[in-house]
């Protein structure tokens, strides 16, 4: 078959785009972090992962000490990746302790073998990346402006691009992880977790990409969006409405929520029972959902660290 000029041009463009994409991935800088007595296991850093959707950012991939590339591993994606492993390098001197908890649970065979992909946030775009975009689009002008004012006060961008953030994870980062490491790729072996706004984007991820993520954990989920719990704040109800419409089937999905009772978490208490109602409405049961209260827990990494074994066991439970 003869090719006309249009076919030749389209073919040439496709080849050039593919070459550019491959060249970009080939140029990714990765290196093993120096062994440390404070880190259990090993961490490989992907420096400023390139993306056509979001600002490049570091990604830390944690491996258990006995990682063996002849086996395959489940994958847990986590947000706020710079807060997960080493308190000496975080802005507030706190960490999730992911490496210690994963190592302890693996030693006792309470969870299946897994690696953890810690996606760093870009502070100025954290709200932009993490607030569910389709929820934002349903808000009235007053609540949209409230979100924008909050972002401005925190010196963050006022736009919302969480749809692009999820495209980055699903179409750029996950294929790279699955190509370069020994992973299981099905939804039942792919989990996502975060806290606060990271809880919102984890919920959004399993709703928007149920064919990618089989489980999600949302700790201290920031239902109120801003820092106001006034009657005019309709953001929590918009998020719950989105849940009611978009939660995936509990037949092959599971979801975890928890919350504390002090500091910022205290503002979430009015909504946590509604979360259970929404899940039950979608036919989730005790096997497919959790919504746990942790008395006296505050909105901080050291408290997520204290209870981290619970969501990890839920997400990665060894059957």
Query: CA nearest 243: which of 276, 268, 213, 278?
Result: 278
24-34 b/e with 16+ CB inside 10 Å = b? eeeeeeeeeee
109-130 b/e with 16+ CB inside 10 Å = b? eebbbbbbbbbbbbeebbbbbb
**299-315 pLDDT per residue, tens:** 999 999 999 999 999 99
**112-152 pLDDT per residue, tens:** 999 999 999 999 999 999 999 999 999 999 999 999 999 99
Res 16 pLDDT > 60:
no
Residue with tokens 């992973």: 183
Res 15 pLDDT > 50:
no
Res 84 pLDDT > 90:
yes
Res 215 pLDDT > 80:
yes
> Nearest 5°: phi and psi at 183?
-120, 155
Quote the CA–CA distance of 233 and 269 in Å, as a whole number: 15
Mean pLDDT estimate for the chain? 92
Q: Give the confidence band of 230 by pLDDT, cuts at 50, 70, 90.
A: confident
Q: What is the CATH number of domain 30-316?
A: 3.40.50.1820
Q: Is 268 exposed, middle or buried (0-12, 13-18, 19+ CB in 10 A)?
A: buried
Report, as an integer, the average pLDDT of 266-275: 96
Quote the CA–CA distance of 252 and 248 in Å, as a whole number: 8
**153-188 pLDDT per residue, tens:** 999 999 999 999 999 999 999 999 999 999 999 999
pLDDT of residue 24: 56
Quote the CA–CA distance of 36 and 130 in Å, as a whole number: 31
pLDDT of residue 8: 46
pLDDT of residue 19: 42
pLDDT of residue 87: 86
Res 7 pLDDT > 80:
no
Q: Where are the domains of the chain?
A: 30-316
Query: With contact defined as beta carbons under 8 Å apart, do 299 and 260 qualify?
Result: yes
pLDDT of residue 20: 42
């Amino acid at each position: 078959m003869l090719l006309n000029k249009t076919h030749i041009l389209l073919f040439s463009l496709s080849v050039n785009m593919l070459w550019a994409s491959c060249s970009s991935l080939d140029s990714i800088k990765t290196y093993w972090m120096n062994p440390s007595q404070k880190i259990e296991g090993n961490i490989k850093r992907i420096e400023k992962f390139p993306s056509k959707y979001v600002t490049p950012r570091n990604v830390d991939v944690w491996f258990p000490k006995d990682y063996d590339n002849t086996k395959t591993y489940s994958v847990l994606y986590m947000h706020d990746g710079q807060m997960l492993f080493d308190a000496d390098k975080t802005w507030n001197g706190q960490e999730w302790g992911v490496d210690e908890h994963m190592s302890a649970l693996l030693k006792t065979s309470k969870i299946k073998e897994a690696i953890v992909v810690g996606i760093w946030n870009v502070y100025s775009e954290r709200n932009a990346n993490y607030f569910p975009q389709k929820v934002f689009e349903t808000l009235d002008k007053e609540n949209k402006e409230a979100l924008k004012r909050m972002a401005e006060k925190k010196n963050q961008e006022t736009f919302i691009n969480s749809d692009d953030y999820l495209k980055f994870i699903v179409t750029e980062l996950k294929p790279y992880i699955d190509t370069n490491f020994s992973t299981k790729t099905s939804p039942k072996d792919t989990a996502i977790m975060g806290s606060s706004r990271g809880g919102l984007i984890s919920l959004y991820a399993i709703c928007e990409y149920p064919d990618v993520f089989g489980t999600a954990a949302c700790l201290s989920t920031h239902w109120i969006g801003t820092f106001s719990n006034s009657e005019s704040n309709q953001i929590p109800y918009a998020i719950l409405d989105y849940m009611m419409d978009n939660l995936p089937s509990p037949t092959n999905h599971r979801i975890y929520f928890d919350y504390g009772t002090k500091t910022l978490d205290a503002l979430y208490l009015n909504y946590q029972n509604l979360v259970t109602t929404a899940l039950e409405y979608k036919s989730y049961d005790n096997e497919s959902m959790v919504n746990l209260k942790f008395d006296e827990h505050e909105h901080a990494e050291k408290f997520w660290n204290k209870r981290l074994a619970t969501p990890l066991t839920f997400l990665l439970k060894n059957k």
